[in-house]
Amino acid sequence: MAKTKKDSGVKKSFEERLERLEELGDEIRKSEIPLDDAIKAFEEGIKLARALEKDLEKIEGRIEILMNDADAASDPEERPELGLFDNDE
């Protein structure tokens, strides 16, 4: 799998990152959270949201390709390379 800079070396799945974004939102809503911690959580949330948005754009592009070119998509020899995910495994 692809490695990211900040974590322990394994890129997290879309679902894991979305769950983390939801956790950050819940954390920020707590009234007892110190301001510095809230700002850090907000910054992490913004980065996650932007990355998730880019992933969704890639997925939408893939769906559009598949919908517009159903004949080519049915033949593995002619299927276009979509390049959505790293193949570093």
Tens digit of each residue's pLDDT (9 = 90 or more) over 40-82? 999 999 999 999 999 999 999 988 888 887 655 455 565 566 6
Residue 83 resides in a domain:
no
* 86, part of any domain: no
pLDDT for res 86: 62
Q: How many domains does the chain have?
A: 1
Over the Cα atoms of the chain, what is R_g? 18
Q: Is the pLDDT of residue 4 over 50?
A: no
Give percent of the chain above pLDDT 70: 66
pLDDT-derived band at 8 (thresholds 50, 70, 90) equals: low
| Domain that residue 66 falls in | 14-72
Tell me how far CA of residue 87 lies from CA of 19, 27, 54, in angstroms.
24, 34, 18
